[in-house]
Structure 1
Amino acid sequence: MKYLKSDIRQKQQILTDEGYQVSLVRTLVSDGTSANALYRLTSWLVKYKLSPLALITLWLNRVINGCVIGAGARFDKGFVIMHPVGVVINSKVVGGNNIVVESGVVIGDEKGKAPVLGSNIFIGAGAKIIGGITIGDNVKIGANAVVVKNLPSNVTAVGIPAKVIQKGVNKC
């Protein structure tokens, strides 16, 4: 639960950068914030060995938000789900700071190995990140991209399969 405050502040900053005058209340009721809160609550419940309650919060996230984030998934501060419908994140996924996820994103394992994500990453709507790969820091992944190989830091990747189209990307 210690990261929930930073998640909400990060989302408020993103909405403000998009040209909206955003209050804390508007951020709290915006699409995706409840998915973030339920994910953080689930993680907290698992950490303190309250797994039966964690199953309830996992179910609530699926029913209320149309979002499945495995109980073991770990993201540092600033994790933001902009639009939760169709988001599926495997329980083995590990992510750094300031990761933004749009709708329909799948981050999944293959043969028991899941992606490791760096910090300052934007993942566009419908993108898929699959397998035991590493995504570097400061990476933008375009809408509907399918990432099945490692991506270095400071790049933009798009396509099926994803290919780097821009290098030298600053912080996302």
Structure 2
Amino acid sequence: MKEDIETIFENDPAARSWFEVAFTYSGLHALWAHRVGHWLYRRGWFTSARMVSQFSRFMTGIEIHPGAVIGRRFFIDHGMGVIIGETCEIGNDVVLYQGVTLGGTGKEKGKRHPTIGNNVVISSGAKVLGSFTVGDNSRIGSNAVVLKEVPPNSTVVGIPGMIVKRDGVRIGKLDHNNLPDPVIDMFRQMQQQIDELKQTVQDLQSKNGGVHEHGAKNL
């Protein structure tokens, strides 16, 4: 419990005191409740485990299935709307922001939810769906929809998620104000192609107009 609180101080500059963190941080409460539910789940008391999970969801707005496996120094910032599925596995030093879903696609059997590596940051509203792995030190941008494996040391943004950075070295905490946008890049490329086509059409019109004018003079 001490490590959980210290993790919040390391990740949240708004944290002021141990008392405030222990009594007002919903992500911390959801994590502690999950530990109780997971203990019951591992011993086969599935209904009791789900009751703990649902009570925690009611109190915190965070839904963590008691079957999920969560590593050390896990931090949920703000947390409202976070959903973590039954077969999800989360490594150490992972940070989730509000509205994150670690879910399935509804097609798999058995392992249905993602495996999140160590030191991963998943930003607000991101959806990671499927039974694949998000590699260590990776970061997922706000509102990204990730549907396939993410290599270590990668940055993923967009819908569907696209890898926009992978340099083979450890990536620091997510900078929300400095993320590339593949959708905007695509629109820029489309605009460039449209401008080139317009110029081609204008050149053809000018050429054809000159031919018609020359023919009229000869008549």
Report the 3-state secondary structure (helix = DSSP H, G, I; strand = E; otherwise coil) of the residue aligned with 2:164: strand
What whole-Å deviation, never above 9, does each CA across 1:46-82 have from its counterpart, x for those lacking one? 2344434322211111211122111110011011111
The match for 2:5 among 8, 12, 16 is: 8
The aligned residue for residue 56 of structure 1 is 51
| Alignment match, 1:129 | 128
Whole-Å separation in 1 of the counterparts to 2:65 and 2:87: 8
Q: Which has the higher strand share?
A: 1
Q: What amino acid is aligned across from residue 69 of structure 2 in structure 1?
A: R
Q: TM-score, normalised by structure 2?
A: 0.70
Q: How many residues align?
A: 166
Point out the structure with max Rg over C-alpha.
2
Code of the residue aligned with 1:13 in structure 2: it is: E
Find the partner of 2:37 among 37, 42, 46: 42
The question of whether the paired residues in 2 share the 8 Å contact of 1:109 and 1:131 is answered with yes
In the alignment, which residue of structure 1 is the partner of 2:16?
Answer: 22
Asked whether the 8 Å contact 1:69–1:90 carries over to 2, the reply is: yes
Question: How many percent of aligned residue pairs carry the same amino acid?
Answer: 33
Aligned 8 A contact 1:92 1:109 in 2? no
Task: Give CA deviations for 1:13-38 in whole Å, capped at 9, x if unaligned.
Answer: 111xx3x4632222222242211211
User: Over aligned residue pairs, what C-alpha RMSD do you find?
Assistant: 1.8
| CA distances 1:107-162 after superposition (whole Å, capped 9, x unpaired) | 11232322111100111010000011110000111110000011111111111111
**Higher helix proportion:** 2
Unaligned regions of 5+ residues in structure 1, if any? none
2:95 counterpart of 1:100: yes
Q: Which has the higher contact order (CA 8 A, sep 6+)?
A: 1
Aligned residue in 1 for 2:28: 33
The answer as to whether partners of 1:141 and 1:156 remain within 8 angstroms in 2 is yes
Letter paired with 1:163: M
Cross-structure match for 1:151: 150
TM-score (norm 1): 0.87
